[in-house]
């Protein structure tokens, strides 16, 4: 009540003393909210519809309550709970509520078990009574001819249809919902209640797939293959394909009949995915899209096909009985998972004699006896391959090849000595070797391959083999006289087919060759291909950054030089390769972040023999720069004072740069100015109290970088009257004349006297105030 408030204010004034306190007094009274309002729903009865198979957790209804208590206090923190579900058979909840939002959704049991009550569904667009009577006549015609209105069966069906048209008068479930304040966590919480009536509606929008169709199906096209029905009887249907194929032999009618427009071929496409949309007249979806699978069933419309016009196999003579010859490869384009692609194999003919058999299921061919080339070198077979409806004949040629009972023999076993310069190019052919084999030409028993089997541990040489029994010894890796000056290689001639049992390769199948490497004066070689070093930018002059290592293959004396140091900060010792910072040179990362140059190593006796390497010296940043203001002065218009944005820059990189810390000098608060951060590189300077006349302020601003390094900088602000365009102007006559020396001395003397008087009065005032223990304020001499 106001009288109590007045008494409270008077009491405060009495506490302050008999003498009035100078300046205004601010008193804040906080009114604390108490929980004296119960939450209430915006309506006491809610009505909602949920469709069968609605996914659990997806909201289909919502209740909403309000509380008049302070919305920032727990007194207005509302929590929703589901008190009961009627009916609740078997103690199974079909519904749940979000305690924070009041959204109602189905539980997992509700998604699975909710079913709509049976109702009469009349045809789309027809009259209710006519359609009902027609259905009744079709299925419920009574034995006696009595009026419909007197027939109890008709009345029952009529009530069911009426419920379908207005089901909310007879809901399937009633939910009791409670809302509590204080988050529902206190026994003192206030509450309110509401009822939610729920009708379970039949979900007519059901996926008719997967639809199975036989390929090459004969009939009248377009052919109905399925049907969809929207929950909205006025919906329009649209059909698109998901895969975006070139052909799409499907369509949908306005009544939801899915049509096939032409015959399908499983070998072209085994499955289609149709996307059916139900939309209103404006193109808005009234039901979620359905993806309908159409599976094309296989029919036996493809014959087996031999993968080769003539399948050729080889078998060695004297192979034991039952030795495998090979598998006949046949393909059937029909579905492998159906009998249509089940193949069977049979031998139709064999010439010159019947010595082979074939597995009727796998097509594996085997020899029934040991084969000899003197009996026949080739056999021709005809194999019939059947599926349940087709037959194909495949041709097979089987060659009986000679057994490997002859060794490859070199034309000479010692190919002498050869000389190569160490700078010989890769791929150079040193010599050609040759060997012969008396086995049957053109078979694996007579084909010769050459291999280096000794003396080539570092892989410098390699053998290349052709089909004529010749091999070439070539240089595969760079030669190095300093590593190896000579080689003695052993070359073996071998057959890809194994030798017959008891036969071993002899010395006649091997040859040797000696290779001598000639030394060549080569350029120096660096130890590393890439030279990279990182140093702090404050590294002192004369410090060694890195040492270049290089050697001359012949051991000759080498020197170093440096090229490309555009900054001239570095120097290299010609003898040792040490790279140092020159005297009086200062590395500066803010000037360049990395130095890139070339080091040349050359023979002292022959400078033309040289090698080069790229060197990079990357400079690490150190905190050698402070943030500085980009502008040092500005002005503020008195009538429309706008804050000034101060921006600073620091040449250092992270973590020695931004974000910056802005503050007034010595961290004091100013009665005239306020400084607040805007972002990591700027701050806002705001004028708190305008001066009575134009005035220029020198404001000390301290700016520190992210590492705490910074200095105080002066920022000049002129506070002035401004033109309409926002520029300072000086009133005419204010500074029109120049005062003389006597006048100036008089003004200065008067000013000094006035200041002395003010100081004396202030001293006595402060002394008096100290006795009263009253704090008058704070004086900031700088600001």
Q: What is the pLDDT of residues 470-507, one digit of tens each?
A: 999 999 998 888 788 899 999 999 998 888 888 899 99
Same fold? 408-496, 525-620: yes
| CATH code for residues 525-620 | 2.60.40.60
* CA angle in degrees (0–180, nearest 5) for 287-290-296: 160
Fold of 408-496: Immunoglobulin-like (2.60.40)
Q: Provide the pLDDT for residue 743.
A: 44
* pLDDT level of residue 740 (50, 70, 90 thresholds): very low
Q: What distance in Å separates the CA atoms of residue 102 and residue 94, rounded to the nearest whole number?
A: 16
Please tell me which residue, 8 or 16, carries the higher pLDDT value.
8
Confidence of residue 123 (pLDDT cuts 50, 70, 90): very low
Q: Is 10 left (phi over 0), alpha (psi -120 to 50) or beta?
A: alpha
Encode pLDDT of 556-609 as tens digits. Answer: 888 999 888 888 888 898 888 888 888 888 888 888 888 889 889 898 888 878
Query: In this structure, what token pair is assigned to residue 332?
Result: 């059937």
Q: Report in angstroms the alpha-carbon separations of 537 from 63, 652, 655.
A: 68, 11, 15
**CATH H-level, domain 305-401: superfamily:** Cadherins (2.60.40.60)
Query: Taking Cα atoms as reference points, which of 478, 486, 479 lies closest to residue 418?
Result: 486
Please say whether the structural domain 628-720 has been given the CATH code 3.30.70.890: no
CA 490/CA 474 separation, integer angstroms? 14
Distance, C-alpha 309 to centroid of its chain = 50
**Where residue 27 falls among pLDDT bands split at 50, 70, 90?**
confident
State the pLDDT confidence band at 454, using cuts at 50, 70 and 90: very high
Confidence band (pLDDT; 50, 70, 90) for 771?
Answer: very low
Q: Which of 32-46, 102-116, 724-738 has the lowest mean pLDDT?
A: 724-738
Architecture per CATH, domain 40-201, reads as Sandwich (2.60)
Domain boundaries, the chain: 40-201, 205-297, 305-401, 408-496, 525-620, 628-720
- H or E segment at 193? strand 191-201
**Residue 377 CA from chain centroid, whole number:** 64
Query: Residue 783 contacts by C-beta under 8 Å, 6 or more apart in sequence?
Result: 664, 668, 670, 671, 672, 673, 697, 699
Q: Which fold has domain 205-297?
A: Immunoglobulin-like (2.60.40)
Sequence-distant contacts of 131-139: CB under 8 A, at least 24 apart: 132/157, 132/158, 132/161
Report the alpha-carbon distance of residue 175 to residue 45 in Å, rounded.
10
More confidently predicted of 84 and 626: 84
The helix or strand, by DSSP H or E, that contains position 9, with its residue range, turns out to be: helix 2-15
Q: Which string of DSSP letters, residue by residue, matches 210-226?
A: PEEEETT--S-SSEEEE
Distance (Å, whole) CA 434 – CA 408: 10
Q: Chain-wide mean pLDDT for the chain?
A: 83
Grade residue 7 by pLDDT with cuts at 50, 70 and 90.
low
| Pick from 173-187, 524-538, 566-580: least confident | 524-538
Strand 95-97 vs strand 211-214: parallel, antiparallel, or unpaired?
A: unpaired
- pLDDT above 70 covers a percentage of the chain that reads 83
pTM of the predicted structure, to 2 decimals: 0.43
């Amino acid at each position: 009540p106001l009288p109590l408030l007045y008494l409270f204010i008077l009491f405060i004034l009495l506490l302050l003393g008999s003498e009035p306190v100078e300046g205004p007094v601010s008193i804040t009274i906080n009114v604390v909210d108490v929980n004296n309002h119960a939450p209430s729903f915006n309506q006491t009865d809610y009505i909602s519809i949920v469709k069968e198979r609605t996914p659990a957790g997806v909201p289909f209804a919502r209740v909403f309550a309000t509380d008049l208590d302070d919305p920032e206090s727990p007194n207005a923190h509302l929590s929703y709970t589901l008190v009961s579900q009627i009916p609740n058979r078997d103690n199974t909840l079909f519904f749940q509520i979000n305690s924070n939002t009041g959204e109602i959704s189905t539980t997992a049991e509700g998604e699975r078990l909710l079913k709509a009550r049976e109702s009469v569904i009349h045809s789309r667009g027809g009259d209710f009574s006519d359609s009902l009577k027609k259905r009744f006549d079709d299925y419920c015609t009574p034995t006696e001819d009595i009026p419909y209105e007197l027939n109890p069966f008709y009345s029952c069906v009529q009530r069911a249809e009426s419920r379908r048209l207005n089901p909310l008068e007879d809901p399937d479930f009633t939910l009791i919902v409670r809302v509590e304040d204080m988050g529902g966590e206190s026994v003192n919480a206030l509450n309110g209640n509401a009822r939610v009536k729920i009708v379970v509606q039949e979900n007519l929008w059901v996926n008719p797939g997967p639809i199975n169709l036989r390929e090459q199906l004969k009939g009248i096209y377009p052919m109905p293959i399925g049907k969809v029905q929207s929950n909205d009887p006025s919906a329009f249907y649209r059909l698109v394909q998901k895969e975006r194929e070139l052909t799409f032999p499907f369509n949908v009618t306005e009544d939801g009949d899915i049509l096939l427009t032409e015959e399908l071929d499983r070998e072209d496409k085994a499955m289609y995915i149709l996307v059916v949309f139900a939309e209103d007249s404006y193109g808005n979806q009234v039901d979620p899209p359905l993806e309908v699978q159409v599976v094309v069933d296989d029919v036996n419309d493809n014959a087996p096909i031999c993968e080769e016009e003539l399948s050729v196999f080889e078998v060695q003579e004297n192979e034991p009985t039952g030795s495998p010859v090979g598998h006949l490869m046949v393909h059937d384009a029909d579905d492998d998972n159906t009998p249509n692609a089940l193949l069977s194999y049979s031998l139709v003919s064999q010439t010159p004699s019947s010595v082979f058999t074939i597995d009727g299921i796998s097509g594996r061919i085997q020899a029934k006896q040991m084969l000899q080339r003197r009996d026949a070198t080739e056999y021709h077979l005809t194999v019939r391959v059947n599926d349940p409806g087709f037959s194909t004949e495949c041709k097979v040629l089987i060659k009986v090849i000679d057994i490997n009972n002859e060794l490859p023999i070199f034309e000479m076993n010692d190919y002498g000595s050869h000389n190569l310069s160490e700078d010989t190019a890769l791929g150079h052919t040193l010599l050609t070797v040759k060997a012969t084999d008396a086995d049957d030409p053109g078979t694996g028993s007579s084909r010769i391959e050459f291999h280096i089997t000794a003396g080539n541990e570092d892989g410098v040489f390699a053998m290349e083999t052709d089909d004529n029994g010749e091999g070439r010894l070539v240089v595969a890796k760079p030669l190095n006289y300093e590593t190896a000056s000579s080689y003695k290689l052993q070359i073996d001639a071998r057959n890809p087919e194994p030798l017959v049992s008891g036969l071993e390769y002899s010395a006649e199948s091997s040859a040797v060759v000696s290779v001598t490497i000639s030394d060549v004066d080569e350029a120096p070689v660096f130890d590393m291909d890439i030279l990279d070093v990182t140093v702090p930018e404050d590294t002192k002059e004369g410090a060694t950054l890195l040492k270049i290592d290089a050697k001359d293959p012949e051991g000759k004396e080498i020197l170093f030089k440096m090229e490309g140091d555009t900054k001239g900060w570095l120097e290299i010792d010609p003898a040792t390769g040490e790279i140092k910072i020159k005297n009086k040179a200062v590395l500066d990362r803010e000037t360049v972040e990395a130095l890139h140059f070339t080091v040349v190593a050359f023979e002292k006796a022959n400078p033309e023999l040289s090698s080069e390497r790229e060197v990079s010296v990357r400079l690490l940043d150190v905190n050698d720069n402070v943030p500085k203001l980009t502008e040092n002065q500005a002005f503020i218009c008195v009538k429309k004072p706008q804050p000034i944005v101060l921006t600073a820059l620091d040449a250092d990189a992270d973590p020695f740069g931004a974000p910056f810390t802005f503050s007034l000098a010595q961290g004091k608060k100013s009665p005239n100015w306020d400084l607040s951060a805007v972002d990591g590189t700027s701050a806002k300077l705001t004028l708190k109290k305008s001066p009575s006349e134009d005035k220029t302020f020198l404001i000390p601003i301290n700016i520190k970088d992210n590492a705490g390094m910074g200095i105080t900088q002066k920022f000049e602000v002129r506070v002035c009257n401004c033109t309409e365009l926002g520029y300072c102007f000086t009133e005419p006559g204010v500074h029109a004349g120049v005062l003389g020396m006597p006048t100036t001395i008089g003004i200065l003397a008067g000013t000094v006297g006035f200041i002395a008087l003010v100081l004396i009065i202030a001293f006595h005032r402060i002394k008096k105030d100290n006795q009263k223990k009253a704090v008058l304020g704070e004086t900031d001499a700088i600001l």
